[in-house]
Structure 1
Amino acid sequence: MAILGKIRSQGLILILVIALALFAFIIQGLLTSNGAAKASSLGSVGSTELDREAFARRVEATMQQRGAGTSTVQAVNSVWDAEVRDAVLNMQINEAGIEVSDEAVKNQVKSMYANAPIFLDENGQFSEIKMNTFVADLKNNQPERYQLWLQDVENAADQSKQTQFFNLLKSGIIGTQASGEMEYRLANDNRSFTFVNIPYTSIADSEVEISKSEISSYIAKNESKFKSEAQRDIQYVVFEDKASEADKAAMKSDMTKLLNSYEEFSENTNRTETYQGLNTVEDVETFVNSQSDLPYDGSYLLTSKLPATAKAIAALEEGSTYGPYEDGEYMKISRLEDKKTIMDSVQTKHILVAYAGATRSASTRSKEDAKKVADSIFATIGQSNSKFNAKWDYFNENTEVAKGEDIGWVVYSGNARNFAPGFTKFLFENDKGSVGISESSFGYHIINIQDTKAPTEAVKIATIAKKVEASKATGKQLFTDAQKFQQGAAEKDFTEVAKEFTLDVKPVKNLKAMDENLPGLQRNRSVVQWAFKEGTDIGDTERFETPEGYVIVQLTRKAEAGLMSAEEASATVTPILRNKKKAKMIMDQITATEVNDIASAQGLNARAATAVNRKSPTIPGVGEEPKVVGTAFGLAEGETSKPIAGEKGVFVVKVTAIENAPDLGSYKADANEVANRTANQATSKLVEALKKSIEITDNRSTFY
């Protein structure tokens, strides 16, 4: 009771405490909500937030469009660049009040999908009806893909606005009479001069010292050139996941058993079974496919293309076996099935009869109808070359029923791999002048072999291949060794531990947050993410499992975004400052005033440059020297310059001839050239300028 009374007496304080608690709860909720919003934001461009889920959908769509060769990071970077570009442009477009009609957006969408096979009619033309049917199906049955379609429509609207924006921008760019005359003069006014070039290489780099403070001072005066993204340096070793010599010996022993028939007790049948070997089995293809990691290949291989470890196969008798032998990633045994001479090069024409569903086909007929058409055409040709040529000429011009195509030379050891197997099988199994039908994924081919050349020996071999891989025991030992290395590197010098394990340390410098490729390794995003992860400090090590094996990585340097340090910029700045000092040293040595005298004093020869202009300020035998050429244009004929610090050395020039192009009544053509060039550059330059003028927050590396 006393406690309750005390609470009542302090009522006002209690109310304030409760109010503060409620306020704190509300504020916490707001902060949490804002934190969640921030967590879902991939970044921002000015006031435009880039939503992570929408971004992820575009990344997925980009990867689907580009195929298996595109990595996630490549797709992310591509979409990011597009999003940033769109964001900075849309700010300008919205401010300018630019709008586009529904019809313009519709036309933009049609142009985007003009060549999509799914929207083409039987004549290969874009069908708006097919597109509308496709969209309706997405809306009713595939809501997720429909959302992607709506995104495409939105992108089309943005693209239309951007096109209009850039057209307006370009329409305001004109070339004046003055700019046209300047363009004309830069290209057509010439100067000829004699010169001496005392190269910077005449002074050894060791004679010129560049201090850290000088580099820092140069950076401070040129900050815009030395802004750097966050970077990390790492070093790593690889415990390669590869078979040991003992593993290979065991593989050879196992594969040797497959060469000859053998008996072995079977637990499945509880009796001793007799197994066929490669040298006695009758159904070779089935046997190979049941035992090999690679499928049976019944094609002929040129003996010249046999791998070095299998060259001896060409000398075997048919039916003989060879191996085991190692070929790249595989251990193999082979049986020579056949030898023959084939023509390495075949010249051919064909008449293609396609059908609905065949590769690159717009035909609507069935496969059965196509076969009937092909048989009918072939029946009228037979083995007559003249009749084939007559039919080919007809179908080369009239392609409704079939299409005559001149394929040219198909080379067995070269471009044959680019053609369908059914097509090439006929070419290399028949003689010059042969006519016949062959089926491939493209349809039915009526083929005529026009000519052949380059006869060469080929073999047909049946090969059982087993991938050479580390055994479980080897893999277990590899893991143990990797663990020991990581433990040792945590306590001792990384390089010294690597020496103990006889491993090469591979340094990687200047990694950026969105990098994924490491020299000597395949794409490995996880290593880069670890290096940039908060809490990873210099000297830390981590173990990663990769396709190459276990990789032990150590972080050796951290540099956050901002101005480069003197050490980071040294490779760029040192040569600049060194040449600047060398220029002064060379100039201090020059006492003469005539080109020939200066050249003689330096042990050099004076040289001549003829008809040099400012648009292409190149001095023969030296290279581009805009400052030197510009100086020459400021001199009178016969006048000698003071020493000039050029790109490649110190120059002194004497003008020997001034050749100014004649005045023109109009410089309109040159003015138009200036305007067109400026307009063409305006798009990219404007976007880059806009990017620099706005704050961009990039959180990509947090999510990818």
Structure 2
Amino acid sequence: MATLERIRQRSGLLIGIIGVAMLAFILTDLLGSGNSLFRADANVVGKVNGRTVESREFAMRMDEREAIIRQQNPQQAQFITRKQIADGVWNEIVREEVMGEQYDNLGFMVSSRELYQRLKANPSIQSAPAFKDQVTGQFSEGMFQQYITNLRDNMNVDPQAAEAYQQWVDFERGQKDMALQTKYNKAVEKGLYVPKQIAKASFQSSSISANIKMAALEFSSIKDEEVEVTDADFKNYYNENKEDFKAEKSADILYVNFPIAASEADRKELQDELKGYISAADSAENFAFAADDSLYASSRSDIRVMPDYYREANLPQGLDTTIMEQPVGYVTEPYEANGYYAITKVTDKRNLPDSVEARHILISFQGLQGGNETRNQPQAKALVDSLLEVVKADTSKFAAIAKELSDDPGSGANGGELGWFGDKQMVASFSNFSFRNEKGEIAMVPSQFGYHIIEILDQKGSSEAVKLLSISREIAPTEQTIDDIYSAASEFASSVSGTEDFTAKAEEKGYTPRPATGLLPFDESIPGLGNNREIIRWANGINSEDTEIGDIQLFNNGNSSYVVVLLTDAMEDGYRSLDAVKENIRPMVINSKKGDMLMKKFEGATGDIDAIGAAAGAPVTTQAVNFGAPSLGRFGSEPKVIGTIFGMNDGETSKPIKGNRGVFVIQLTNKTPAAELPDYSEQQNQQQQATRGRVQGQVFLSLKENAKLDDRRAKFY
């Protein structure tokens, strides 16, 4: 009772302690999760000129863009990444904000009537069959208006109409944006003017030429090891060229890749398993004697079993041509092909025609590549069944039906005739029917393009083919092998510290350390590893600000390998440090020192260019140069030397000039000025058109560079 009384007396204190603990727990969770009240922008993907782009809006726009890509180009969609979609959406938002601000400030707009006229005149609208008059075949404005009205009226009752209406709204928006962009660009173009005097000066400066004599000493005449460079040399070069080292936030890593691959033991185990199918004493278990060899192979193969006929010229990879001589029932020894071990059985032999002449009627339907959108699959099947009965009963009707109904416009216009073709020129199902049946056969054959009614018109030639059936087993690592690879990677990761130790121990163990530099926060791939956002995010400290130079991490690279990564450098936006660029600039620093050494060879040399060259040991050559093409013959681009030449007077000799490839002394023989033209209107027009032609590509980029952009996408994708 005394204890309970003391608890009651101190209950306020206990409640306070519990309250503080709960508050600390809640705040810790909020702060740690990135959803703190003090971090209201935790869900912000970016900001454009003050406009906040929330992650929810951005994700919705990404989904919309991906859906459009999948609908318009399914083949492209399977290769596009989320990062590429995010890039497209971000650029779209930046353009909307940056250009929208310009349109609003300058009063650009597109009226409803103007937009309608633009839509109506669009080539894709003018040529669309849905908007063509059935009698005249010309574009019908009435049908165009009715189409839009129907979409608007049915968008709330018909899901398909709602989707079509949204697509139409997106199309309208795109056309409006194009109209605004065109107006803006035209306005900027009209404001660009090249005065005739500037055109004249530009023409004359690009046409002036000169003849020179030149004494040159190349940097390559001195070996690198003969040059001693100091820290002061590096610092001087860095300070003189600091703008070259301005860079975005990025990271440098060093990594060792541990591929997850089958071991020799794994390979032998697979080979032994396949050999067991050949040597089994029980005939029911022996592939050579299996009663149902297709069923036998299907239950043991890692990939779909597809027996097929092959000629000697097109045998599957891994098989020797001697298989053509083997009897039916023969089974090969295990062989390797395309990442699999396989054994192959000869199940039949026959002569097949070398080429076939055939004709077909294609009945396609919605959802197929180039499918007929006016019919669905059941309708297509019903139609093809009825047509098959007709042409089987009377083959003379085949050509007329093909011309009228075939969804293959090329052959349809020719009565369905395809001419002569080889056994690999058509899709597999079409080819199999044509080469494995007799002349005159007619049947329906499905393919990825729809239903084909095929008639074999003729066959010629004949050569032997063997029917082959294979059991294929993937050459994959076992769980034990994967564990061993992980253990090796983990052991290496825990045993190293620092760049030198990382490199030394990797080479000691026979691993190959590889660098990857300049990895930007939103990069997607790493040279040698392919796509790996996880490593890039870690290296750049995204969602993990504790990552420091010298940290080592073990990653799973998409189940293809384990990767041990060392963060060797991390740069924020701004100038890269001298230490970070030191090795990159070493060749330039060495050349600069070589230039100083070569300059001294010319010191004290006097007289004409031949005397100066002889005193310095520099060969003297003659050269013709043009101010409009700053190239110095075999020395390549030497703008500093060219600029000096055209600032000299005839007969004048220059001081030594340190260029890109060496040190040069120039004697100007003569300059030939450009011919004076009676009028420079043509040059003026050319320059003006060239200047205006850059507007479309350059104006937005210029505006974008001056926009206030805060891109945080790397934290989300």
TM-score interval, smaller chain: 0.7 to 0.9
Corresponding residue of 2:688:
675
Q: Within 2, Cα distance between the matches of 1:686 and 1:67?
A: 31
**Among 298, 301, 305, which residue is 1:289 paired with?**
298
SS in 2 for 1:232: strand
Q: Within 2, Cα distance between the matches of 1:638 and 1:377?
A: 99
CA shift in 2, pair 1:60/1:411, >3 Å:
farther
Corresponding residue of 1:468:
475
Q: Within 1, Cα distance between the matches of 2:416 and 2:675?
A: 56
Corresponding residue of 1:607:
621
Corresponding residue of 1:540:
551
Q: Within 1, Cα distance between the matches of 2:689 and 2:319?
A: 61
1:563 equivalenced with 2:572 (yes/no): no
Q: Is contact 1:320-1:336 (8 Å) kept?
A: yes
Worse-superposed segment, 348-357 or 666-675: 348-357
Corresponding residue of 2:597:
585
Corresponding residue of 2:94:
84
Q: Is contact 1:303-1:459 (8 Å) kept?
A: no
1:241 equivalenced with 2:250 (yes/no): no
Please report the TM-score for the alignment, with normalisation by the length of structure 1: 0.76
SS in 2 for 1:542: strand
Deviation at 1:139, TM superposition (A): 5.4
Deviation at 1:136, TM superposition (A): 6.6
**1:402 is aligned with what amino acid?**
A
**1:648 is aligned with what amino acid?**
R
Q: Is contact 2:552-2:566 (8 Å) kept?
A: yes
1:166 equivalenced with 2:176 (yes/no): no
Corresponding residue of 1:627:
640
SS in 2 for 1:291: coil
Identity among equivalent positions (%) equals 25
Q: Within 2, Cα distance between the matches of 1:67 and 1:538?
A: 38
Corresponding residue of 1:57:
60
Corresponding residue of 1:17:
none
1:512 equivalenced with 2:520 (yes/no): yes
**1:472 is aligned with what amino acid?**
E
SS in 2 for 1:180: helix
Q: Within 2, Cα distance between the matches of 1:603 and 1:206?
A: 21
Q: Within 1, Cα distance between the matches of 2:125 and 2:617?
A: 67
Paired positions, count: 651
The superposition leaves residues 326-376 of structure 1 with CA deviations (integer Å, 9 ceiling, x where unpaired) of 2242121111345688899x7999787554546425585874667849959
The superposition leaves residues 372-400 of structure 1 with CA deviations (integer Å, 9 ceiling, x where unpaired) of 49959994599xxxx99xx99xx9xx979
Q: Within 2, Cα distance between the matches of 1:41 and 1:542?
A: 28
Deviation at 1:465, TM superposition (A): 0.8
1:204 equivalenced with 2:223 (yes/no): yes
**2:334 is aligned with what amino acid?**
P
Deviation at 1:473, TM superposition (A): 3.0
Deviation at 1:425, TM superposition (A): 4.8
Worse-superposed segment, 669-678 or 536-545: 536-545
**1:673 is aligned with what amino acid?**
Q
CA shift in 2, pair 1:209/1:104, >3 Å:
farther
1:333 equivalenced with 2:343 (yes/no): yes
CA shift in 2, pair 1:355/1:311, >3 Å:
closer
Corresponding residue of 2:704:
691
Q: Is contact 1:235-1:554 (8 Å) kept?
A: yes
Q: Is contact 1:180-1:670 (8 Å) kept?
A: yes
The superposition leaves residues 139-173 of structure 1 with CA deviations (integer Å, 9 ceiling, x where unpaired) of 55668998787666555544432232112111222
CA shift in 2, pair 1:228/1:194, >3 Å:
same
Q: Within 2, Cα distance between the matches of 1:181 and 1:451?
A: 73
Q: Is contact 1:351-1:402 (8 Å) kept?
A: no
Aligned pairs (5 A) from 1:286-685: 286-297=295-306, 298=308, 300=310, 303=313, 306-308=316-318, 313-337=323-347, 355-357=364-366, 359-360=369-370, 367=380, 372=387, 375=391, 379=395, 402=413, 416=425, 420-422=427-429, 424-425=431-432, 440-442=447-449, 444=452, 460-489=467-496, 493-495=501-503, 498=506, 502-531=510-539, 532=541, 533-546=544-557, 547-570=559-582, 573-590=585-602, 591-601=605-615, 605-610=619-624, 612-656=625-669, 658-685=671-698
Q: Is contact 2:309-2:465 (8 Å) kept?
A: no
SS in 2 for 1:258: helix
**Among 278, 287, 290, which residue is 1:278 paired with?**
287
Provide structure 2 residue ranges, at least 5 long, that are not aligned to the other structure: 1-26, 70-75
Q: Within 2, Cα distance between the matches of 1:111 and 1:215?
A: 63
CA shift in 2, pair 1:481/1:640, >3 Å:
closer
CA shift in 2, pair 1:499/1:401, >3 Å:
closer
Corresponding residue of 1:39:
42
Corresponding residue of 1:226:
245
Q: Within 2, Cα distance between the matches of 1:598 and 1:309?
A: 73
SS in 1 for 2:92: helix
Provide structure 1 residue ranges, at least 5 long, that are not aligned to the other structure: 1-24, 264-273
**1:670 is aligned with what amino acid?**
Q
Q: Is contact 1:354-1:363 (8 Å) kept?
A: no
